[in-house]
Structure 1
Amino acid sequence: MASSGQPRIQWLGRWGFMLAATGSAVGLGNIWKFPYITGEYGGGAFVLVYLACILAVGVPVMMTEIAFGRRGRGSPIDAIRRVVNESGRSSMWSLIGWMAMLCGFMVLSFYVVVAGWSFSYLWKMLTGGLAGTSVDEMAAVFGANNANPITLGGWSTLVTLLTMIIVGKGVQEGIEKSVSWMMPGLVLMLVLLIGFGMFSGGFGDAVDFLFSFKAGSLSSEGMLAALGHAFFTLSLASG
């Protein structure tokens, strides 16, 4: 079939793609969610199932998505449609692209809230609003943030606008340039978090909570959570 004539989106280099993929995998979701579900569903036992799900299901799906992206070179909708047209398959297969975009929108709907919490805490920290705050008081701060629709909506709106600006600039000028400084910032934050955890006390208990092998706590629900988090980690089926 003849080409549509539209320019195909490309990364400037592999490094930019690798940074974006790494940021997607080792992002806010894993920092925020992974420790909790790991400790709840069996620690080391959960980690083993999680890694098995990544290798057996996640990696093959990810390689398939990358292959579609390399072949279609466009948004999920355009890439799937282009591959379907070139292969002569039913146009109904193009619905997969729309489903991926819908899934991405649903993920964004809660990500902007969680990222908004992070921005709110960052602002309070920079302005001294969290100085001397105890663990119990932090719970009250969290509750107050969620009870205030202006605060919650304001920070979530800011995250949405920043996301729109970056994505609106395209792959090269938006996503690729932004991850070039966001990823070093994420690495620095992880190093600071690990350092703080090691020297603030209770580091051994935290490691035991996360990685001690508790097979009895690994239920069928935990296995499903491991599979779901494998998809979440690799940002699969979400555009």
Structure 2
Amino acid sequence: MHIAATAQRWSHAYAFFLAATASAVGLGNVWKFPYILGQNGGGAFLAVYLSCIALIGIPIMMAEVMIGRHGRRSPGYAARAVARESGAHDLWQLVGWLGLLAAFLILGFYVVITGWAFAYVQKAASGAFAGAGGDTVAALFAGLTGSPGEMLAWSTLVVVLAFAIVALGLRRGLERWLHLLMPLLLVLLLLAVVSGLWIGDAARAVDFMFRPDFSALTAQGVLIAVGHAFFTMTLAAGVLMMFGAYLPQETSIARTAIGVALADTAVALIAGLAIFPVVFGFDMDPAEGPGLMFQTLPLALAAAPAGVMLTTLFFATLSLAAFSSVMTSVQAFVHLFHERLHTSRMLAALVCGGAIWLLSLATVFSFSGAAWTRLDITLAGRELPTLYHAFEHTAINLLLPVGGLLIATFVGWVVPARISREELALAPAGFRLWRFLLRYAAPGALGLLLLQLVGVF
């Protein structure tokens, strides 16, 4: 028995697949995955990461979507409805509310970094990187991050576009645009791979990515793989729970979750195949870190034949991947505001967009060095010099793992097995495996991650 029903539904299962994949495929795949792969030994890290996706990511994704579909409401209210049917305390609604809080904080800096990618498309197309040396490229990045006005203009464009699309409604807005943008993203990614293989060292890149060297993998690297699986798949951020509320009852949650995980992983690997040939072909350090994307790669791409075109293509791909995640994440907030206050979608989009835009100011001015963004505090063993660092650390390193642990505990131990069986419709052996992973493997891995993050070991 379902407690409540939201009127909105995906037009078909493929629309849910596109939305969940768009939410997962973002900066985590095209920007973060390549550099953490480079920092943690290449193929060995990849093997652990894939294991995390299979043993932790997919079971929790299934649980999160299940809560949304059974509750048929916004995340917090869906979790409360499922808790009440399960005879559990209303406090379990925190499973949904913590996810939305994490998503809100993430959007506060994600729209700014997406704005960087937009800005780099314009810079690349105008030939700003053509013939540029290392000092010039570094100065361009420093000029962008040191200019509140420029960053604010680009991040405002990201917010306006995303909320304007979502304001059109689920099918006329988000779903219609996903049908256009996701195939385009795939085409751009494949073109980026061809370009990277053309100008770079494909043999060294493939060897680095797919030959495991476990001597280069540390215990911290294993926990980084667990954390990145959460970030890249948008787990415990409320988005998948919201999308589950739109999911038709006849759609298989298990098949869809596996499909999204495979698509997300494939995009991460494709991004690696686009980036690492360039890294090795131009003798760059694959463990360089975040600067690899916005400072080192533009220098290499611009020096290649057809450099202006290649650099523009690369940052257009990054922009589209990042924007797809922003667009899908804001859906949950607009729906919540529209559902609870019975306002028009346009008003809901304006209010929610304004709130996220205001939050993004903290990130904009953190990078430009404004005094009011300075914190200089330590939280859970990590130094946080600015508000931006506090948002990022709190959302990604604390709220997402805690939310995942709560989801696994709630669905694995509190929600009756009959509800899970009804929603998942798995074969008995598959259901037992899923429940075992949700009850033991996921909480164990997330518990270790949280202990490491707070400095216990």
Give the alignment's TM-score, normalised by structure 1.
0.90
Q: Offset at 1:46? A: 0.4
Tell whether the 8 Å contact from 2:2 to 2:72 is kept in structure 1 after alignment: no
Instruction: Please name the residue that 1:183 is paired with.
Output: 182
The alignment status of 1:231 with 2:227, answered yes or no, reads no
CA distance in 2, matches of 1:172, 1:159: 21
Instruction: Please name the residue that 1:84 is paired with.
Output: 83
CA distance in 1, matches of 2:127, 2:109: 27
The percentage of aligned residue pairs carrying the same residue is 45
Per-residue CA deviations over 1:201-226 (Å, capped at 9, x if unaligned) read: 22333333433322122111111110
Tell whether the 8 Å contact from 1:23 to 1:183 is kept in structure 2 after alignment: yes
Q: Structure 2 vs 1, CA of residues 79 and 167 (structure 1 numbering), >3 Å: closer, same or farther?
A: farther
Aligned counterparts, 1:119-158, within 5 A: 119-134=118-133, 136-158=135-157
- 153-162 or 187-196: which moved more? 153-162
Q: Structure 2 vs 1, CA of residues 135 and 211 (structure 1 numbering), >3 Å: closer, same or farther?
A: farther
Q: Structure 2 vs 1, CA of residues 72 and 2 (structure 1 numbering), >3 Å: closer, same or farther?
A: closer
Instruction: Please name the residue that 1:210 is paired with.
Output: 209
CA distance in 2, matches of 1:67, 1:199: 44
- 21-30 or 103-112: which moved more? 21-30
Letter in 1 for 2:150: T
Q: Structure 2 vs 1, CA of residues 2 and 141 (structure 1 numbering), >3 Å: closer, same or farther?
A: closer
Q: Offset at 1:3? A: 5.8
Q: Offset at 1:184? A: 1.2
Q: Structure 2 vs 1, CA of residues 95 and 157 (structure 1 numbering), >3 Å: closer, same or farther?
A: same
Q: Structure 2 vs 1, CA of residues 72 and 8 (structure 1 numbering), >3 Å: closer, same or farther?
A: farther
Tell whether the 8 Å contact from 2:42 to 2:210 is kept in structure 1 after alignment: yes
Tell whether the 8 Å contact from 2:6 to 2:72 is kept in structure 1 after alignment: no
CA distance in 2, matches of 1:210, 1:71: 40
Q: Offset at 1:117? A: 0.8
Per-residue CA deviations over 1:29-85 (Å, capped at 9, x if unaligned) read: 201011111111111110111011111111100000111122122321232222223
SS at match of 1:9: coil
Tell whether the 8 Å contact from 1:8 to 1:74 is kept in structure 2 after alignment: no
SS at match of 1:129: coil
Q: Offset at 1:112? A: 0.9
Letter in 1 for 2:213: K
Q: Structure 2 vs 1, CA of residues 186 and 203 (structure 1 numbering), >3 Å: closer, same or farther?
A: same
What is the Cα-based RMSD across aligned positions, in Å?
A: 2.1
Letter in 2 for 1:84: A
Aligned counterparts, 1:1-239, within 5 A: 7-134=6-133, 136-239=135-238
CA distance in 2, matches of 1:168, 1:87: 34
Tell whether the 8 Å contact from 2:3 to 2:70 is kept in structure 1 after alignment: no
CA distance in 2, matches of 1:79, 1:134: 54
Q: Structure 2 vs 1, CA of residues 113 and 204 (structure 1 numbering), >3 Å: closer, same or farther?
A: farther
Q: Structure 2 vs 1, CA of residues 42 and 110 (structure 1 numbering), >3 Å: closer, same or farther?
A: same
Q: Offset at 1:135? A: 5.2
Tell whether the 8 Å contact from 1:10 to 1:73 is kept in structure 2 after alignment: no
CA distance in 2, matches of 1:66, 1:25: 14
CA distance in 1, matches of 2:119, 2:41: 32
Q: Offset at 1:9? A: 2.8
Q: Structure 2 vs 1, CA of residues 115 and 130 (structure 1 numbering), >3 Å: closer, same or farther?
A: same
Per-residue CA deviations over 1:101-125 (Å, capped at 9, x if unaligned) read: 0011122122112211111011223
Q: Give the aligned length.
A: 238
Q: Structure 2 vs 1, CA of residues 235 and 207 (structure 1 numbering), >3 Å: closer, same or farther?
A: same
SS at match of 2:91: helix
Q: Structure 2 vs 1, CA of residues 40 and 212 (structure 1 numbering), >3 Å: closer, same or farther?
A: farther
Q: Structure 2 vs 1, CA of residues 120 and 197 (structure 1 numbering), >3 Å: closer, same or farther?
A: same
Per-residue CA deviations over 1:165-185 (Å, capped at 9, x if unaligned) read: 233334323221121111012
Give the alignment's TM-score, normalised by structure 2.
0.49
Per-residue CA deviations over 1:11-40 (Å, capped at 9, x if unaligned) read: 111111111122223323201011111111
Q: Offset at 1:2? A: 10
CA distance in 1, matches of 2:202, 2:135: 20
Q: Which runs of 5+ in 2 are unaligned?
A: 239-457
CA distance in 2, matches of 1:54, 1:7: 30
Q: Structure 2 vs 1, CA of residues 136 and 180 (structure 1 numbering), >3 Å: closer, same or farther?
A: farther
Structure with higher RCO (Cα < 8 A, 6+ apart) = 1
Q: Offset at 1:227? A: 0.2
Tell whether the 8 Å contact from 2:43 to 2:213 is kept in structure 1 after alignment: yes
Q: Which runs of 5+ in 1 are unaligned?
A: none
CA distance in 2, matches of 1:195, 1:154: 33
Tell whether the 8 Å contact from 1:40 to 1:217 is kept in structure 2 after alignment: no
Tell whether the 8 Å contact from 2:43 to 2:208 is kept in structure 1 after alignment: no
